[in-house]
């Protein structure tokens, strides 16, 4: 095998290892909270949605959300379970997943703990967002009149999506 071919094969192996590592480790939690780096594998066990999502609040940590379609991205989201569904919120900065819900519909999956549920997201707009943001903030001990982290918008300005079973 020539030196040039050996270098080519080695480069291909390194690139393949990098892509596979990304696939199985992203999304990940960064040191400043939830990562906005998408992954593609959600994992978990496909499970029928519960009749009441409130008990899911006892499961620590964020959920994993995977959207239908291509590319099939997976991201971490903070959430709060309610009797009828799951509330998620995101910064009002034109984020990719929120725009995809608006443009392509909200079908996707939520993984909470080891269980993965087939769900549909609906954007909640206007003043109807405020009670949901209050619930979302209360779960993490925040106020909607404060930024979630330094430099962020006030929580009351965030976008809200309500997930129901499909």
pLDDT in tens, the chain (166 residues): 788 878 787 788 778 776 666 555 555 443 334 444 556 788 889 999 999 999 999 998 889 999 998 877 888 899 999 999 999 999 898 888 899 999 999 999 999 999 999 999 999 999 999 999 999 999 988 899 988 888 888 999 999 999 999 9
- pLDDT for position 21: 61
Nearest to 111 by CA among 160, 76, 162: 76
- 3-state SS class at 81: strand
- pLDDT for position 35: 47
**Which domains, from first to last, does the chain contain?**
45-165 (2.30.110.10)
Q: Spell out a b/e string for 8-31, using b for 16 or more CB atoms within 10 Å of the CB, else e.
A: eeeeeeeeeeeeeeeeeebbeeee
Query: Mean pLDDT for the chain?
Result: 85
- Residues 6 or more apart whose CB falls under 8 angstroms from that of 121 comprise 88, 101, 106, 108, 161, 162, 163
Q: pLDDT digits over 33-46, tens only?
A: 444 455 678 888 99
- Residues 6 or more apart whose CB falls under 8 angstroms from that of 25 comprise 39
- pLDDT for position 38: 57
49 and 42 in contact (C-beta within 8 Å)? no
- pLDDT for position 24: 55
């Amino acid at each position: 095998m020539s030196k040039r071919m050996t270098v080519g094969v080695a480069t291909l192996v390194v690139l393949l290892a990098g892509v596979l590592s990304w696939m199985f480790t992203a999304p990940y939690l960064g040191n400043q909270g939830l990562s906005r780096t998408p992954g593609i594998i959600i994992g978990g066990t496909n499970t029928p949605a519960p009749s009441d999502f409130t008990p899911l609040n006892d499961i620590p940590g964020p959920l994993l959300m995977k959207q239908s379609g291509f590319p099939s991205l997976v991201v971490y989201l903070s959430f709060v379970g309610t009797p009828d569904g799951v509330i998620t919120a995101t910064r009002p900065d034109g984020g990719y997943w929120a725009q995809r819900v608006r443009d392509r519909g909200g079908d996707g999956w939520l993984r909470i703990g080891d269980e993965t549920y087939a769900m549909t997201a609906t954007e909640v707009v206007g003043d109807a967002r405020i009670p949901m943001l209050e619930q979302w903030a209360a779960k993490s001990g925040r106020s909607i009149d404060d930024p979630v982290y330094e430099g962020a918008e006030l929580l009351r300005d965030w976008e809200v999506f309500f997930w129901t079973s499909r």
